[in-house]
Chains A and B, each alone.
Chain A
Amino acid sequence: MDLFIITAAIVGFYVAWNIGANDAANSMATSYGSRALTLKQIIIIAAVLEFAGATLFGKKVTHTIAKGIVPIELLDHNLVVYGALAALLSAGIWITISTYYHLPISTTHSIVGAMLGFGLAAVSQNHLTIEQIKWDVLVKIALSWVVSPLFGATLAFIVFSLIRFILLDRYSSESVEHVFRYLQVLTACYMAFAHGSNDVANATGPVAAILGYSGTVPFWVLFFGGIGIATGIATWGYRVIETVGKQITELTFTRGFSAEFATATTVFLASYLGMPVSTTHTLVGSVIGVGLAGGLASVNLRIVQKIIFSWIVTIPVAAAMTISIYTIMVVFI
């Protein structure tokens, strides 16, 4: 059993590290793209506030991932260990593969798909009935994946339109941008905090289940997830921020502020509701919202197709991989 816990800790840490290295980095890249902050400042802000978000507000989403999808209290604890570990492993593998191929997949979608796979595997072995999988929660989660980018887009549209009609129409764009440079520092913090509070669960949810989750998430599990994310940002994320930041060339402080404010608010609201959403997909929605308000020189809508494609692929792949790993574990161990 100890071996499983050690493995879970390692894989969980890897997933958290990857969330820091890629997802956190992507959500912070807008601050770098608009040059509101230097790379060093971003790394510090991201590491500290992602950690704070994870430890202070990571509970609810962790709860959803740990027992919101599969009713683990109805299963033998050994099976939960196998299942959650299989889910964590397959999410880790899928994230690694798609990162290698630069696919804009979401860690959140991977882990939800993987947990669903665990549930289905338990059903196939008659440990659960198909009705016992919490479909109502899954439907809510799936709905939140559609709603969150749309909500981000709407909010960003409203925020930028207000800036446009109240400020840009009246004052010189230089002075308005100057003020928003400082405000964007705040939204960068908000963003890191919100992201940490939501995405940490992708690593800590399965780990909490393996440790025998009863209803309260031990603080040190979230602490462990937060450290993993912060390490990811510091050891790899800065390179991702630089790479993504270079693609973001035409973003000014008012636009960066609008997109970040909308994304962080949406994600934070989702954390509050216990819904695991994709921060990066919400950010894409928010950027499109700013574009719709006439704020950007050019928005590439092709990424929307890519994201929809990644949803469709991620869920079955993560689920199928989990079922395979789970079956291997059950048969051989």
Chain B
Amino acid sequence: MKFFRSVGEVFGYSPFRSLAQHARMCCWAVGLLEQQFEALRKGKYDEVEKLRDEIDDLEHHADQIKEEIRGRVTKSLMLPVDRHDLLEFLKVQDEIINNCEHVGHMVTFRKVQAPEDVWDEFSVLLSKLMEILNYYEDMVENITQLIETSFSKKAVNKALEHVPIIEQLEHECDLIQIGLHTRLFNLENAKPLDIHLMVTWVVHLGYVANAAARASDRFRIMILGR
């Protein structure tokens, strides 16, 4: 349509739906990781590789969303939150899915042998991560409600009560990691390379939890920093 004048342009690009979508993808990636460790334990290596590719695709898609937000949140937009806070939050949130991708690849490097109780511990660690990400996703989903109520006290409190829970869960995750490290370094009859690789997994799974905790902190800074 050619002949028209419009003031619709005054309504700028809103990044908030995309931010929530990016958070959902982070959560989804951790779910895939959990499945991947299950497959690994059962020795279903084809499935492990298939899941790695799925996580890869997801990460790639999340990257596109991140790029879109970064490209469109320009200085001429007036947002209800600080632009730098928003971009910093996105950056840390993106580390969640980046680290998921790293772990997704690392588990395919080598077919490791480990006793059942080690796999159990990994299961515990992964379900704790899943719990963190479920809370995390819930928290970020609040953003639409926050905007609708234009950051009413009630909505802000409801969103931010997730933050201490996530921090607590991250601490619990640390404890599981410590236990797992101790167990791995004391494995008898295990190949040193297997131990080394499994330790690397634990470290990077820790990064996932850590990124989620830091992102929730950045989320709080963004919400309170208006």
Residues on A facing B (Cβ under 8 Å) = 21-23, 25-26, 29, 33, 96, 98-100, 102-105, 160, 164, 168-169, 173, 177, 236, 239-240, 243-252, 280, 283-284, 287-288, 291-303, 306
Contacts and interface: CB of A to CB of B under 8 A. Distances in A.
- With a 10 A CB-CB cut-off, give which of B11, B78, B148 has the most chain A CB atoms: B11
A125 to B, nearest CB: 34
Contact of B151 (A252, A292, A294, A300): A294
Contact of B9 (A25, A169, A247): A247
A300 B5 contact: no
Given A298-B15, A300-B12, A164 B152 contact: yes
B172 to A, nearest CB: 34
A273 B150 CA distance: 35
Nearest to B74: A302
A25 B7 CA distance: 10
Contact of A297 (B5, B6, B7, B79): B79
B57 to A, nearest CB: 28
A300 B3 contact: no
Interface in B1-21: 1-16
Q: Which 6 A-B pairs have the closest CB atoms?
A: A247-B8, A300-B12, A297-B14, A298-B12, A244-B8, A299-B78
B5 A105 contact: yes
B14 A250 contact: yes
B76 interface: yes
Interface of B: 1-16, 76-80, 145, 147-155, 226
A217 to B, nearest CB: 27
B11 A250 contact: yes
Contacts of A296: 11, 78, 80
Contacts of A252: 148
B76 A302 contact: yes
A195 to B, nearest CB: 13
Nearest to A25: B4
A45 B188 CA distance: 82
Most chain A C-beta atoms within 10 Å of own C-beta, residue among B1, B5, B150: B5
A33 B6 CA distance: 13
Contacts of A298: 11-15, 77-79
Given A96-B3, A250-B147, 14 more contacts: A169-B152, A169-B154, A173-B152, A177-B148, A244-B4, A246-B8, A250-B11, A284-B7, A284-B10, A296-B78, A296-B80, A297-B14, A298-B11, A298-B12
A96 B79 CA distance: 34
A181 B76 CA distance: 30
A299 B3 contact: no
B11 A247 contact: yes
Contact of A248 (B11, B76, B77, B78): B11
A303 B12 CA distance: 10
A301 B8 contact: no
Given A250-B11, A299-B12, A240 B4 contact: yes
B8 A100 contact: no
Given A26-B7, A169-B154, A239 B1 contact: yes
A152 B91 CA distance: 37
24 contacts: A29-B6, A29-B7, A33-B11, A99-B3, A164-B150, A168-B149, A168-B150, A169-B152, A173-B152, A243-B1, A247-B11, A287-B7, A294-B150, A295-B150, A297-B16, A297-B80, A298-B13, A298-B79, A300-B11, A300-B78, A301-B78, A302-B9, A303-B9, A303-B10
Nearest to A105: B5
A283 B7 CA distance: 8
B10 A288 contact: yes
A164 B148 CA distance: 10
Given A298-B13, A302-B76, A173 B6 contact: no
A287 B9 CA distance: 11
A236 B3 contact: yes
A280 B11 contact: no
- Of the candidates B9, B14, B153, the one having the most CB atoms from chain A within 10 angstroms of its own CB is B9
A25 B149 CA distance: 28
B76 A173 contact: no
Nearest to B4: A240
Contacts of A299: 10-12, 77-78
B78 A104 contact: no
Given A296-B80, A297-B79, A99 B16 contact: no
A32 B154 CA distance: 30
Contacts of A168: 149-150, 152
A303 B4 CA distance: 16
A110 B152 CA distance: 43
B184 to A, nearest CB: 47
A168 B155 CA distance: 10
A39 to B, nearest CB: 15
